[in-house]
Structure 1
Amino acid sequence: MKKTTLMTMAVALCCLTAIGQNRPRPTSPAGAPQSSNTPPAAGPNAVNRPPSTGPKAYKQVITEKAITQKGLFNVHKVEERYFLEIPDSLLGRDILVVNRISKAAAGVRAGMTGYAGDQIGDNVIRFEKGPSQRIFLKSISFSERATDTLGMFSSVLNSSLQPIVASFDIKAFHPDSLKKTNASVIDVQDYFNGDNDIFFFDSGTKRSLSLGNALPDRSYIQEIKAFDGNVEVRTVKTYMKMPSQQPGPQQGATGPLTYELNSSMVILPKTPMKPRYFDPRVGYFATGYVDFDANPQGVKRISMITRWRLEPKPEDREKYLRGELVEPAKPIIFYIDPATPKKWVPYLIQGVNDWQAAFERAGFKNAIMAKEAPKDKNWSIDDASHNAIVYKPSDIPNASGPHVHDPRSGEIMETHVNWYHNVMSLVRSWYTIQAAAIDPRARKTTFDDQLMGQLIRFVSSHEIGHTLGLRHNYGSSSTVPVENLRNKVWLEKNGHTPSIMDYARFNYVAQPEDNITEKGIFPRIGDYDMWAIEWGYKWMPQFATPKDESAYLSKWIIDKTSSNKRLWFGTETDPSDPRSQNEDLGDNAMLASSYGIKNLKRLLPNIITWTREPNTDYSEARSIYTELVNQYGRYMGHVTKNVGGIYSSPKTVEQSGKQFMNVPAQRQREAVSFLNRELFSTPKWLINQNLIAEAGVDPVSSIRNVQGTTLARLQNPTTLMKLINAEGTSSTPTYKTQDLFKDLRTGIWSELNTHSTIDLYRRNLQKLYVENLAALMKSPAAAPTGMPQAGPRQIDPTLYDISSIARAELVSLKSAITKAIPASSGMSKYHLQDILVRINGYLKKEA
């Protein structure tokens, strides 16, 4: 979805004056900014209108037939036309526009986009008076700022003129006097009846849904409703569908598509909340801007965390500062979509209320809660003044927790959590694969409501965490010793990961004999979550500026994390740190995965029994087998990331210790040894004759896929380059590229020394190994001239030692195969002869 453009001014109280484009300008006698009288050029969102005849008397425009609603803007409906009454006090004020699908077109989806409740755009706008008795609508960006009125301020002002996206003739003034106006009446009928990316689909979402032009004869305004802090615009839009570029039944299809859309105009605070600066040591989403003043010899990117405005009520401020728990002036309230199946509502509510304890750490009681939606015909789930958990009857197995924030300060304004119905199948599969060995309740195709309810509660808590501003903490589970994951007493107290924001689903390490209860299997809000909410939401009025506040918060991080490693944040975006991985557990991937594999071995022989249902086929058994293989592949991935791994711990100059450190050589050898033992030595336990005969599973392809994916990561130029760099920069012995290939050859080509039969699975593996080596002697395919490169730049192995080592490995392998062929027979001999021909070809071609 389109994100609100980044940041803005905070006012003088927050030690930031207004951004350049908001600085007052000289005005004409009539009160309008001095400007050319030339009308704005027509554009794609222009509205065709007859020449203006000037404002009329108020009662001539807003007649006795008018149906009027009072609110942020007074809304008038006169016969079939809608008018907005814009108070002068709101001219120049920042207004957040949030657009959502209220009712979706039948049968049209693009991944997770296109459902009722989906956000399809957001913008910040301002209404301003223009020349010739007009009101201009501007789209506002806060991506660049300066506060020095004698320096960069004027330059930023001159380079940041905000675009006028629409112009409206003033039809009347209110009160009915041209000399003492306090509101301007504009006709918005044509603008809202048309199509634009301010109030409807943004261009990206439109493309993803293959929507063309709106059809005006089949589009109309359903209603416009006024509230104290917002105005809601409900429209019906019919678009011509364009041929889709995505394969599937909709590809090439055209025709009309009708949506009901809801656009919310929400007034942003006149005084923005005091920002809290982002720190990479605590996992918050951030928004930011380029500051031209922060660096006197350049520019600086300022990042602010996104969070709700939680402040004590005025009468409770002294209590708060004394350390007493107080209720916030405005609590965070989530409403449950009335369309949600009733039996799941209590669990969704509990998933929200579970966060109350975290906010108590920040000094607030009853700061967050969930309620059922009011039974009030005027209450709407689309209203942007409400936060909601939206139920979507979709086959997509997912949930998400986006939020909309004030780009000037990072203040979260509202959120709609998306709960797709089929997320239940996803969590059921997770729980079956990861917990069936230790929880008998997971040994059937349909879970009882209590178990499924607790799974929904966990998903709810995780997604609510995102709406509070928290990112995934992939590193949290790495702070837990693996053996503690089998300790019932320890788990009951601490849980299996310190953060529900980790992707550490369920405790797959625990063994049946450990007798672990649900408290030791399920994720829950933990130590890190409590700490992160305290860090982000603690009210600190003693600091006048966010800069002063950030110095205190930085010291707080150092003090707290140095004494409690469970508060460590490991980002979800680090490709090199093996501590920060999704779906993993514990501080040693090899040991944790060994326990996980033991449980998979217990599960696999029971798949047919546990999925058997009367009058059904074996599709569920096939599905569970696939999920089991995928889980096995995840274990291999967790181990593989240790090879060439780099521990990364963001620090400031005040902290001791290293920020970057190579994974110790012994840990990397342990990882490759594990892979040789558990993966490259054929995992024959995956070959189950009952599953092959009854469910038609394909272990040959399954095993080859896992082995191929793992080998590709180990023999990837990026992994090998990290090993080479470590060797060239480390003052201690490292695990070298040559060591990796030697260890792999020992495991993958052991038959060359023992002269034992090479089975089908090993032949597949050995072919993959040689193909990967051959690829390391070539430059990556160059992109066509003039075409931008997608993704990170590929490493050219021929520019480094990578290709040299690969060639040496092929030469050594050729010698060993040549010696082994005479002692081989049958398919083993044919295979080795084929490999030898391939190696000769690769060496000759690249000579």
Structure 2
Amino acid sequence: MKRLAVLTSIFLILSCTELLAQQLPSINEKTQALDQKEGFFAYYWNEAEGKLLLELDPDRLKTQFLYVNSLTAGLGSNDIGLDRNQLGDTRIVYFERRGPKVLMVQPNYAYRAITENEKEKQSVREAFAQSVLWGFEIVAEQNGRLLIDMTGFLLRDAHNVTGRLRARNEGSYRVDESRSAVYPEGTMNFPKNSEFEATLTFTADYPGEQVRSVTPTPRAITLRQHHSFVELPDNQFEPRPFDPRAGYSAVSYQDYSTPIGEPLTKRFIRRHRLKKKNPGAAVSEPVEPIIYYLDPGTPEPVRGALREGARWWNEAFEAAGYKNAFRVEVLPDSAHPLDVRYNMINWVHRSTRGWSYGSSVVDPRTGEIIKGHVLLGSLRVRQDYLIAEGLLSPYEEGLNYDENNNPMLEMALARIRQLSAHEVGHTLGLTHNFAASTNDRASVMDYPAPKVTITPDSTLDLQNAYDTGIGEWDKMAITYGYKDLSATADKEAALNEVITSAIDQGLHFISDADARPPGGAHPMAHLWDNGPDPVRQLNHVMDVRAIALENFSESAIPQGTPMATLEDALVPVYLYHRYQVEGTAKLIGGLEYSYSVRGDGQPGPAPVADSLQRAALEAMLNTLSPEALEIPGPVTDLIPPRPPGYHDSRELFNNHTDPAFDPLGAAETAANMTAKLLMNENRAARLMEFKARDSSRLGLGDMLDQVITETWQADPREGYRNAIQNTVNHVVLYQMMQLASDEDASSQVRSVINLKLEALREWIREEVEQPSPNEQRAASLLYGYRLLQQFTEEGEILTLPEPLRPPPGSPIGSGERPLLNCGVQFQPNRY
């Protein structure tokens, strides 16, 4: 009986499925009043019902293709990070029919078996999960062809806008379908790609502060999302192996068919397809050039600067043996910037300054870049202009500037050229090279600081602020990634020769994780620096800063501008040394090393020379001196509270004297940047370890002794400088106690710093018992003693407030949000 019941159930299911198929209309019946749009996937647009229907031929089922989702119209907030023309995820997918529905399936390309054994392939496929992205309703069927309703798929939040808003505490938004619709103007069809777009409205009852600042009605955010279905490239592209010394980002996967004893993980670089017409020629035109298109919404003179900077890459392709391989043109008015056929340089507006990005659509099977895609923040050029204004104080009475005679504009445009080249470099597959500044600006993939020259008459010159053209490292990297090897017998040897040649030339390469503060250790890998000697450069930067502060006046702002806005120009000048301090700190407890591989002859890791570490510490401590942190009195007297219509912003100093300008707060901010870097737990541990190996080296205890000597135990200053000195002392004490109580610090580090804090407590106790030259000094000593006494008893910092934080800084021209959108899409690189 049970068997009969099972057979009956199966019969009923089959009958219902057959009945459903019989009830479905034919495709001709369903679409007779609709226009068919032929292309990669044929589709029909039903204007009356607001529906988009997709036709699937039998050969389309199970055929894999690329699916890319993007954001066409953005939110305009750098902090939230939902930008116009922002790429989302890239996936390989296919359609699969299951009964009355069609599934969009994403196979798992992170785990594979590259073998002819089908069962071995199947075993890997079944071992790791795949993802079904959507289920489509079949609305018509005819001769094996299916018609599915795409509308729900297009009206969903594919870009995860709601997740981003929720993660930023901006509200629990949801898609309101009654206010969402397919967007026909962004929906188009071509032989190898189909493009779809939808207007989506997100609603929430309690919008966040950032949303409120950029939307007309914060409870209803209307954006547009784009979807691209793209034919997979053919199998004529040859993946190029990843080498950690070559300067590329990698696509990787695990190949479970790999013989035991060989690496399971396979790595290839990301790069565009490029071949010579004549592979045997030393120089040849390409079969197909790489063409980038510039956003036509970019204004002049910025457009010309972006075009010029991007075109620098042709120099690198010429060095790799190509003629006219790289071009930059303006996007035609008829083209869509998210059409996968166009490599794009987009000009993106936000309400606050922010990073620029270089990302790409990449074939995860091979690393082939299908579409390079740059987002350039438009406020970048204005911030660079502001920096130049602060350095030069150029607006003397009666002096006017135009495009042909404007040093601020010239510097800002020079920076934009370099930025354009940098971001395009990411979309060519390159990663950052933060050691390039030590090789005479050998790469646009570094983060360059403006190079300011001090003239013989002690004025500042910005004419050489930024370099022009591609560097020697860039030429090497492009040669590694794009040199045509089709006529080369030993390709591995040819690629290795490219890298060893760069090593022989003394070109250095260090990328992100080893360069970013606060705990970085490499003495050559810094952001926003110049030159091979960080200590010398810090001293130079401090000299530039001193001249700029001495000359700073109302001439830093144009006539008719509120005097309160002088603070806007003062901030980047007063904190002009912030990045060089970060670079110099890396020498203290620093480690010299390279991304060496066995057999390449590069030396192993070694501590930075002790003399350099001690010089770096001295230069760092000089930035804590009251003389360095003092703001000239005339400057302080010029800055009134903000007038109506000119509100406070995060670009200004935090302060204790609101609404008045707070020069001591500015000193506290700058001192905290230096002290926090010195008291980094990783740096402290390296100092301990290096000292243990060689007792003559600078150790943690030595550094702490010198810090205390140059701050708390220094001779008391007078007046305003005395107030700065007391402020610095409290900042240093706070950071020392932070390190002493840091659970991530090693026991050795915590033991030494607690020893030094106890010695400082005893010293202060003796000082408190002596007559003090002034009340301010006496109060500061007593406060420090009681804090240390409390810390000794409780082991916590209970009453000393955290020092003021600096306004956004990096990048020098715009404020960085967190890296990286992973997946098979090219990881975006920020700048």
- Specify if TM > 0.5: yes
> Residue 703 of structure 1 aligns with which residue?
667
Task: Sort the Cα spacing of 1:290 and 1:443 in 2 relative to 1 into closer, same or farther, 3 A.
Answer: farther
Residue 588 (structure 1) aligns with? 533
Q: Assess, with a 3 A threshold, how the Cα gap between structure 1 residues 221 and 756 changes in structure 2: closer, same or farther.
A: closer
**Counterpart residue number, 1:84:** 54
Alignment of 1:377-456 (within 5 A): 379-398=335-354, 399-432=356-389, 452-456=412-416
Is 1:832 paired with 2:790? no
User: CA separation in 2, counterparts of 1:165 and 1:682?
Assistant: 61
Give 3-state SS (helix, strand or coil) of 2:147's partner: strand
One-letter code aligned to 2:293: Y
Superposed CA offset, 1:579-614 (max 9, x none): 111011112111111112222222223322432322
- The answer as to whether partners of 1:443 and 1:610 remain within 8 angstroms in 2 is no
Counterparts in 2 of 1:286-325, with a 5 A limit?
286-294=250-258, 296=260, 300-312=264-276, 316=277, 319-325=278-284
Letter in 2 for 1:387: N
From 155, 160, 164, give the equivalent of 2:123.
155
Asked if 1:721 corresponds to 2:721, the answer is: no
Q: Which amino acid aligns with 1:285?
A: S
Distance change (3 Å), C-alpha of 1:774 and 1:611: closer
CA distance in 2, matches of 1:686, 1:520: 26
State the Cα deviation string for residues 658-680 of structure 1 (Å, max 9, x = none): 3321111111111112223x223
Question: Is residue 204–residue 219 contact of structure 2 (8 Å, CA) maintained in 1?
Answer: yes
Contact 2:78 2:351 in 1 (8 A): no
d(CA) in 2 for partners of 1:829 and 1:109?
A: 48
Measure, in 2, the Cα distance between the counterparts of 1:659 and 1:650: 10
Whether 1:736 and 2:684 are equivalent positions in the alignment is no
Q: 1:561-576, aligned counterparts within 5 Å?
A: 561-565=502-506, 567-574=507-514, 575-576=520-521
How big is each residue's C-alpha offset from its partner over 1:750-796, in whole Å with a ceiling of 9 and x where there is no partner?
4469999992222222233334444444363xxxxxxxxxxxxx22x
Judging changes above 3 Å, is the alpha-carbon distance between structure 1 residues 524 and 518 closer, same or farther for their aligned structure 2 residues? Answer: farther
Q: Quick one: structure 1 residues 38 and 91, their matched pair in 2 at CA, closer, same or farther if it must change by over 3 Å? A: farther
* Structure 1 residue 424: Cα displacement: 1.5
User: Cα–Cα, structure 1 residues 54 and 756, in superposed 2: closer, same or farther, change >3 Å?
Assistant: closer
| Match status 1:255 vs 2:219 | yes
Cα distance in 2 for partners of 1:721, 1:141 equals 41
1:569 CA displacement: 0.9
Q: Which has the higher relative contact order, 1 or 2, with Cα contacts under 8 A spaced 6 or more apart? A: 2
**Deviates most, 827-836 or 751-760:** 751-760
Which of 288, 303, 308 is the equivalent residue of 1:345? 303
Question: 1:123 maps to which residue?
Answer: 91
Alignment length (residue pairs): 741
Letter in 2 for 1:472: H
CA deviation profile, 1:42-63 (whole Å, cap 9, x unmatched): xxxxxxxx95546655533442
1:126 CA displacement: 1.0
Cα deviation, residue 725, structure 1: 1.9
Does the 8 Å CA contact 1:243/1:251 hold for their aligned counterparts? no
Is residue 578–residue 638 contact of structure 1 (8 Å, CA) maintained in 2?
yes
1:329 to 257, 273, 287: 287
Q: Deviations over 1:621-670 (max 9, x none)?
A: 21121101221232322222211111221111102243321111111111
Of 507, 513, 523 in structure 1, the residue corresponding to residue 451 of structure 2 is: 507
Query: CA 1:644–1:844 in 2, change beyond 3 Å: closer, same or farther?
Result: same
The structure-2 alpha-carbon separation of the partners of 1:246 and 1:615, relative to structure 1 and needing over 3 Å to count, comes to: closer
Counterparts of residues 763-782 of structure 1 (less than 5 Å): 763-778=726-741, 780=743
Q: Which amino acid aligns with 1:503?
A: Y
Code of the aligned partner of 2:756 = E
Deviation (angstroms), 1:89 = 4.0
| Contact 1:506–1:523 (CA under 8 A) maintained in structure 2 | no
The DSSP-based 3-state class of the residue aligned with 1:573 is: helix
User: Which of the numbers 570, 578, 582 marks the counterpart of 2:523?
Assistant: 578
- What's 2:432 paired with? 472
CA distance in 1, matches of 2:61, 2:761: 79
State the one-letter code of the partner of 1:334.
Answer: Y
Residue 812 (str. 1) matches residue 759 (str. 2)? yes
Give distance in 1, aligned partners of 2:12 and 2:241: 43
Distance (Å, rounded) in 2 between the aligned partners of 1:294 and 1:431: 56
Could you give the per-residue CA deviations for residues 403-431 of structure 1, whole angstroms, max 9, x where no partner exists?
Answer: 22111111111133222321111222344
| Partner SS, residue 582 of structure 1 | coil
Q: Specify the alignment match of 1:236 in structure 2.
A: 199
**Distance change in 2, residues 1:804/1:160 (3 Å):** closer
Instruction: Give the Cα separation in 1 of the matches to 2:438 and 2:401.
Output: 26
Alignment correspondent of 2:420: 460
Question: Do structure 1's residue 73 and structure 2's residue 41 form an aligned pair?
Answer: yes
**Which shifted more, 506-515 or 155-164?**
506-515
Aligned pair in 2 of structure 1 residues 357, 297: CA closer, same or farther (>3 Å)?
Answer: closer
* Counterpart residue type for residue 557 of structure 1: I
For residues 129 and 710 of structure 2, the distance between their equivalents in structure 1, rounded to whole angstroms, comes to: 65
For residues 325-346 of structure 1, the C-alpha deviation after alignment (integer angstroms, 9 at most, x for no partner) is: 21x2222222222322244322
Using the alignment, how far apart are the partners of 1:210 and 1:469 within structure 2?
A: 36
- Kept in 2: contact 1:193–1:219 (CA 8 A): no
Instruction: For 2:410 and 2:736, locate their aligned partners in 1 and report how far apart those are by CA, in whole Å.
Output: 52
Cα distance in 1 for residues equivalent to 2:378 and 2:718: 55
Q: Which residue of 2 aligns with 1:359?
A: 317
Describe the shift of the 1:738–1:653 C-alpha distance in structure 2 as closer, same or farther (beyond 3 A): same
* Structure 2 counterparts to residues 619-638 of structure 1, below 5 A: 619-638=564-583
SS in 2 for 1:669: helix
Alignment of 1:605-644 (within 5 A): 605-644=550-589
Deviation of 1:201 (Å): 5.2
Q: When the two structures are superposed, what TM-score results if normalisation uses the length of structure 1?
A: 0.79
Return the TM-score normalized by structure 2: 0.80
Match of 1:683, SS state, is helix
Supply the RMSD in Å over aligned alpha carbons: 3.7
Structure 2: gaps (5+ residues):
1-9, 14-18, 515-519, 641-660, 797-831
Q: SS in structure 2 opposite 1:460? A: helix
1:534 to 479, 482, 490: 479
Moved more, 445-454 or 89-98: 445-454
Report if the CA contact (8 A) 1:171-1:187 is conserved.
yes
Aligned to 2:644: none
Distance 1:553 1:664, change over 3 A: same
Quote how far apart the aligned CAs of 1:442 are: 10
* Residue segments in structure 1 that go unaligned for 5+ positions in a row: 1-35, 40-49, 481-496, 781-793
**What CA deviation, in whole Å up to 9, does each residue of 1:715-752 have, x standing for no partner?**
23222111112233x46842211221222233224446
Residue type matched to 2:36 in 1? T
Distance 1:103 1:370 in 2: 24
Pairwise CA distance, 1:617: 1.2
Which residue of the partner structure matches residue 45 of structure 1? none
